[in-house]
Structure 1
Amino acid sequence: MKVILKADVKGTGKKGETVEVSDGYARNYLLPRGLAVAASAGALKSIEVERRAQAEKEQRRIAELKALRDQLDGQTIRLPAKCGEGGRLFGSVTNKDVAEAISRHIGKEFDRKVIEISAPIKTLGVHTVELKFGHNINGKVNVEIVPE
């Protein structure tokens, strides 16, 4: 029996695949648990429509990430921090601090997991921070640490 998987099934296939399985396995396990639907013309068409919608959503997401990267790439973000004598900070600047500064700069929420700091920032001055958005979209932003 041909079925279209609605979820990943170990040993059978991935979500969205059309697979040939035994009748008993389909009727007694896959269909009652909602893991698959019978492969009819209507079901195949609805799966194809869902795939297209998912691909369009992914393309929009990639375009948004590229626009955000272009907006931030090469920008200098000022970040005030408490410091002692000689320009040494009390503690260090984390990716959470940088994310909050970027959020204030662009006016909307920014995910801290995108920021990759190679070494802890413990001094005043300008430091380059790498941004890794995923989908091979990377950028850099300069963070200027100034005394509070």
Structure 2
Amino acid sequence: MKVILLQDVKGQGKKDQIVEVSDGFARNFLFPQKKAIPADAQAQNQLKGKRESEQHRIDEERKAARELADKLQGVVLHIKAPSGGDGRLYGAVTNKEIATALSEKVGNAIDKRKISLDSPIKAHGTYQITVKLYEGIEGKFTVSVEG
């Protein structure tokens, strides 16, 4: 019997796959536990529509990430931070501060976890920062820390 899995089933397949299982396994285990539905024409059409809408959503997110990466190219953030006489900051400029300033500048919400800093910025200067916007898409911008 062909069934469409509604969740991952060990030894059978992953969610939204159409797999062939024995009639007894389907009737006695998969259907009662709501882990699968019969793979009739209507269910297959629903699955196809679901896959298409998911692919469309992924394409839209990827397109938006590319546009944001292009928008970030050449952006320079000026962040003021208190410092001592030797150019070292009293505190540090963290991902959170950079994300807040960047969100205000470009108008898109940027998650602080997507900004990659090796370590917090603790001195004056100019730094190249990378933002992971989507799988395989990164944006680069410059942060200038001033006193």
TM range (shorter): over 0.9
Counterpart code for 2:75: Q
- Equivalent residues in 2 for 1:1-148, closer than 5 Å: 1-147=1-147
Counterpart-to-counterpart distance in 2, 1:10 and 1:78: 52
- What amino acid does structure 1 have at the position aligned with 2:112? R
Which consecutive residues of structure 2, in runs of 5 or more, have no partner in the other structure?
none
Percent of aligned pairs sharing the same letter: 39
Q: Could you give the per-residue CA deviations for residues 73-113 of structure 1, whole angstroms, max 9, x where no partner exists? A: 22101112121212111122111111011011122321112
Distance in 2 (CA, whole Å) between partners of 1:37 and 1:53 is 20
Partners of 1:27 and 1:80 in 2: CA distance: 66
CA distance in 2, matches of 1:115, 1:29: 45
Structure 1 stretches of at least 4 aligned residues deviating more than 6 Å after TM superposition: none
C-alpha distance in 1 between matches for 2:54 and 2:80: 41
How far does the alpha carbon of each residue in 1:27-73 deviate from its partner, in whole angstroms, 9 at most, with x for none?
12211222111010111111001100000000000001111111112
CA distance in 2, matches of 1:108, 1:67: 11
RMSD value, Cα: 1.3
- Counterpart amino acid of residue 10 in structure 1: K
Would you say how many aligned residue pairs link Structure 1 and Structure 2? 147
SS at match of 1:105: helix
Q: TM-score, normalised by structure 2?
A: 0.93
